[in-house]
Chain A
Amino acid sequence: MARSAHLAHVLGTLAVSGALALGCVCSQAVTAGTMLRARFKSDIVSTNPGTRRDENTDAVLLHVVEGLVASREDGSPAPMLASRWTVSADGRVYTFTLRPDVVFHNGAPLTAAEVIWSLQRYLKPETRWRCFAEFGEHGIAQVLSITAPDPHTVVIALDRAAPMFLTTLMRADCGGTGILHPDSVDADGQWRAPIGTGPFEMGEWRHNQFIELNRFARYSPLPGARDGNAGGKHALVDHVRFLIIPDSSAARAALIRGSLDVLDNLAASELTGIRGRPDLRLERVPILDCYALLIQTHDPLLSDVRLRKAIALTIDTAGLTKAITWGTGTADNSPIPVASPFYGSVEAPLRQPNLAQARRLLSAAGYDGQAIQLTTSRRDPQMFDAAVVIQAMAAQAGIHLDIDTVDWPAHLSRYTVGTYQLMMQSFSARLDPTLSFGIFIGDKREEPRKVWDTPHSRELLKRTMTSADPAVRQVVFDELTRNFVDEVPAVALFSSSRLSAVRSNVTGYRNWSAAQQRLWGVGLN
């Protein structure tokens, strides 16, 4: 009996330990008011725009901060905090007129002083701004001065004409060059929290659980409809909560149950069980991303263009795209995505698979079945699936591909230093084709991740940045596309669609070609 009592004591102790541990979990207040709930697969990285960031971080912070200009859905710049701007005749001086009715989340009015402070902060190396290099020696232009002739005008002088200047400022990965109030940092310059001008202000961030944004009551939206990150931005709910739900099945169940209102970035394979439900609505938007098979053109074997062409000729791009994306993506052999206004008749044709010609090229190149390593990752299931399909297609012509699946950090590391032969890679949405080609073109000695480093391609890329005229740029993009297909530094495969599912009581939700969740203009019935 005594031993039974001891046992009961031990078990009791375990139970009490559990109860005590229960009390250790910290707490926060419950939110009241209308709340729109969306899902992220992983947590954001920081609240500091354009610095410590990833796509989720950009999406959240673009609800909180705004730049001088913002991107329209077609990728062109639109007014945001600046009501208008002028460019000097030599293209070097930009003069922005600020909107007079804008206030920060702390109630302070927006003036040129905050704009100058924000821009100067971004241009300090220690800020670690994502787009710092764009304004360095090898970037689009160097900033010579930022001045304020009056409290509502900001003048930025560049060292040379830079038609890509506004496009760069509004990039999501640059944090939209969001203008912040200086109280966003402490006296030592250390980051505190974003005090911006957006339709939502930063609420609670409970790490790995949720990020909550609160409607900013004093926000004055621009007139007009929502257009990309520009246009009228109306906060129609009191709170927006981005829930971190890593597991896709759990996220789908949460949507069906009503614990989630918006489920963005669905894989096509996840549509099963969601499609056809009366309480849900599906959204599909073609986006400006690019999936490509990168080829290490400095590899002894793959430096031979005949071998690269042979690999390309084995790939049935249309079939691969249909299989991998479940029919939701669009095959595209040009780096310019189908959703881009610059996608035209030159970009549209697909390379047709031709195994006989591939074999002839392989024979001419002296290929005798050596194994070629194809690096991929499961971070994006489509990357892995595409690698498997490419391996099978290449095998039909006698090309021996070995798939090496690594985790994302290892994949990223190989990509950056160029230590691969073939690599399946996806690139997030780029609003301008210069940025899309910029993925591939560059000097390998300085940027080993670049696959296309011929002097002619680099020269053409520069030319895309010298004119803002779409017609002039289209000519250059077309030439780049033709050369890209001919020289095969990579095989562009497809651009995908953003798939979202929303509950039927959600109004106004629509993703856009930049593949970035926008929850302004979205309400609940």
Chain B
Amino acid sequence: MLSYILKRLALTLPTLSLVSIAVFLLIRLIPGDPALVLLGEGADAAALAGLRADLGLDRPLPLQFVSWLQHALRGDLGRSIVSGEPVAGLILQRFGLTAVVVLIAVTAATVIAAIAGLLAAWRRNSVIDLAVVGTATVVLAIPSFWLGLLLLLLFGLKLGWLPFVGYIPFSESALQAMLFLVLPVVTLTITESGVLTRMMRSSSIDVLHLDYVTHARAKGLPERTVLVRHVFPNAFAPTLTLVGLTLGHLLGGIAVIETVFTLPGLGRLMVDSVLARDYPVVQGCLLFTAFVYVLVNLVVDLCYPFFDPRVTAR
């Protein structure tokens, strides 16, 4: 198991190397000059040249890349062009909030999907199935920003139950922090539960038709035991793959939800940085996101044997 984990981690190195090169080049291929964005319209040419020199942007690209890579290998992702803050600290600070929202929401969405999908498959073509499939389809079709705004207007404005502008950290007030996170978490949960439910239902239908399920029923096992012990674990494995992919891309930032609910998370940092051509932050964020993506999928792969004994971590 350990050697498998180490092998998988070692395989991330070429991936991250390619990502670092691609990210470095791609952000520079986009038109726009960070010095110009920083100094604004009408900036003096000498001031622009001076700032570019300060930021090291006047050096040839290969030199800039080598310098950045050398620092990155030492764990130093540079400083933000806009705020001057260390990029690594900035990313970790923002990632904490994004991770909270994403982990809670994806966990909740997974639980909902597992129950609803299994139930719909078990009662296929019934009213329950119709309701689950119909709801999942509607949820899939709703953009997260629109749903977020609706929830915000209903629970924040009309009913006044929840705060919706700003954010208070947990260490400042745990209760307030939770209240601020309710709407983003609920929005993301609903949004993500649609596709997971469809996947769970589909794989459950496949499993329900397998011989060993018929055999289990023929043995006289209660239906609940058949579903929980024999159908669920096998049906959940493909959903787990999707959970891994979902977690991977959501942990890279939920920019739309963070914007609607004014949460200072990783997604907003990335979007703001792209718009400001804050090269070090964009590079740092994307490298970090790639690493998280690979890591999350490794963890998911390691979880497979828990559900499907045919899969082993080797």
Contacts and interface: CB of A to CB of B under 8 A. Distances in A.
7 closest A-B pairs (Cβ-Cβ)? A409-B32, A27-B171, A133-B44, A18-B103, A24-B96, A410-B31, A6-B306
B56 interface: no
B91 interface: no
Contact of A207 (B30, B83, B164, B262): B83
B25 interface: no
Given A207-B264, A247-B262, A254-B165, A446 B45 contact: yes
Given A26-B171, A128-B47, A18 B104 contact: yes
A326 interface: no
Given A3-B306, A25-B169, A250-B164, A409 B275 contact: yes
Contacts of A412: 32-33, 36-37, 40-41
Interface in B220-238: 228-229, 232-233, 236
Nearest to B302: A10
Interface in A295-316: none
A250 B145 CA distance: 11
B165 A259 contact: yes
Given A17-B99, A253-B157, 12 more contacts: A11-B107, A14-B107, A23-B171, A45-B83, A54-B40, A132-B44, A209-B262, A210-B166, A247-B260, A250-B262, A259-B164, A409-B32
B275 A407 contact: yes
A257 B156 contact: yes
Contact of B36 (A17, A42, A416): A416
A409 to B, nearest CB: 3
B107 A256 contact: no
Interface string B261-282: 1101000110010011100000
B47 A133 contact: yes
Interface residues of B, number: 71
A400 interface: no
The listed residue with most A CB atoms (<10 A of its CB), out of B41, B96, B259, is B41
A142 to B, nearest CB: 14
B147 interface: no
Given A28-B172, A208-B264, A407-B32, A18 B107 contact: yes
A7 B44 contact: no
A21 B306 contact: no
The listed residue with most A CB atoms (<10 A of its CB), out of B107, B165, B276, is B165
Contact of B97 (A25, A28, A126, A207): A25
A56 to B, nearest CB: 11
Contacts of B96: 21, 24-25
Nearest to B32: A409
Interface in A446-461: 446-447, 449
B268 A246 contact: yes
Nearest to B83: A207
Nearest to A210: B166
A264 interface: no
Interface residues of A, number: 72
A367 interface: no
Contacts of A260: 165
A246 B262 contact: yes
Interface in A125-163: 125-126, 128, 130, 132-133, 136
Interface string B84-101: 110000000100110110
Nearest to B271: A246
Nearest to A51: B39
B275 A15 contact: no
A3 B167 CA distance: 39
Contact of B306 (A10, A246, A409, A427): A10
B157 A18 contact: no
B82 interface: yes
Nearest to B110: A11
A173 B100 contact: no
A208 B268 contact: yes
Contact of A414 (B31, B34, B177, B229): B31
Contacts, number: 191
A53 B51 CA distance: 13
Contacts of A187: none
A413 B32 contact: yes
18 contacts: A3-B229, A7-B232, A17-B103, A28-B172, A29-B172, A45-B38, A128-B50, A207-B264, A208-B269, A243-B262, A256-B157, A257-B164, A259-B166, A260-B165, A407-B32, A409-B34, A409-B36, A412-B33
Given A53-B40, A128-B47, A208 B165 contact: no
Interface string A236-269: 0000000111110111011011011000000000
Interface string B13-41: 00000000000000000111110111111
Contacts of B232: 4, 7
A468 to B, nearest CB: 23
A376 to B, nearest CB: 14
A245 B263 CA distance: 9
The listed residue with most B CB atoms (<10 A of its CB), out of A24, A27, A447, is A24
Interface string A405-427: 01111101111100000000001
A14 B149 CA distance: 27
A125 B93 CA distance: 34
B39 A130 contact: yes
A250 B257 CA distance: 11
A133 B46 contact: yes
A387 B256 CA distance: 27
A27 B50 contact: no
A4 B47 contact: no
A243 B44 contact: no
The listed residue with most B CB atoms (<10 A of its CB), out of A29, A128, A407, A408, is A128
Given A22-B177, A247-B262, A259-B165, A439 B50 contact: no
Interface in A351-405: none
Nearest to B274: A407
A210 to B, nearest CB: 7
Contacts of A207: 83, 85, 264
Contact of B259 (A29, A247, A409, A449): A247
Nearest to A406: B31
